[in-house]
């Protein structure tokens, strides 16, 4: 078993949750973006997590990694706004399928998971330092 494997697990979780936070921030920033480089309104993105085994023995140490940042395929919101430059003939505008409330909840969940991994990390550190005191 790798000596610092436990720290790798926590670090991978911190990185994954931070990436998730970035995606959530992008979603919230683009809640009204009707134009994107790919064309059309912005579609909300979601991170996809996958467990990443770090030991040959399965299930003992498993980190986490972001395997994909997928676009949400739920339908776009249609808003009646004839004055908008991207409005169609009937005055309807397609708005991004971002729900701010949903993003807020996701953000809180990511934050909690991040916090838990930070405390896991510091607890591992305490245990390691305690081991170094052995025999003193």
Residues that bind other proteins (CB under 8 A): 1, 5-6, 9-10, 12-13, 16-17, 20, 48-51, 57, 59-64, 109-110, 112-113, 116-117, 119-120, 123-124, 126-127, 130-131, 133-136
Q: Residue 89's Cα: distance from chain center in Å?
A: 37
Q: Which is nearer to other proteins, 41 or 63 (CB)?
A: 63
| Pairing of the two strands 77-80 and 92-95 | antiparallel
Nearest distance, CB of residue 79 and other proteins, angstroms:
29
Asked if residues 40 and 17 have their Cβ atoms less than 8 Å apart, the reply is no
Which helix (H) or strand (E) segment is 68 a member of? strand 62-71
For the bound state, the minimum distance from the C-beta of residue 132 to other proteins, rounded and expressed in Å, comes to 10
Compute the least distance from the CB of residue 134 to other proteins, in Å.
Answer: 6
CB of 135 to other proteins, least distance (A): 5
Q: Which is nearer to other proteins, 33 or 124 (CB)?
A: 124
Closer residue to other proteins, CB minimum distance, 29 or 109: 109
Of the pair 18, 32, the CB lying nearest other proteins is at 18
User: Please, which residues bridge with residue 53 across strands?
Assistant: 62
State in angstroms the smallest separation of the CB of 75 from other proteins: 21
Q: What residues does 69 pair with on adjacent strands?
A: 47
45 half-sphere exposure, CB direction, 13 A CA radius: 18
- The alpha carbon torsion through 9, 12, 16, 21 (nearest 10 deg) reads 100
């Amino acid at each position: 078993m790798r000596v610092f494997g436990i720290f790798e697990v926590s670090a991978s979780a911190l990185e994954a949750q931070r990436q998730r936070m970035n995606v959530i921030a992008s979603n919230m920033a683009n809640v009204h973006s009707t134009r994107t480089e790919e064309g059309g309104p912005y579609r909300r993105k979601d991170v996809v997590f996958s467990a990443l085994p770090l030991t040959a023995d399965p299930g003992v140490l498993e980190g986490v990694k972001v395997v994909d940042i997928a676009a949400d395929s739920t339908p776009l919101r249609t808003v009646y706004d004839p004055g908008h430059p991207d409005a169609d003939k009937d005055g309807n505008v397609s708005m991004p399928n971002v729900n701010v409330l949903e993003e807020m909840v996701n953000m809180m969940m990511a934050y909690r998971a991040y916090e838990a991994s930070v405390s896991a990390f510091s607890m591992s550190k305490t245990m390691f330092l305690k081991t170094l005191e052995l025999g003193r």
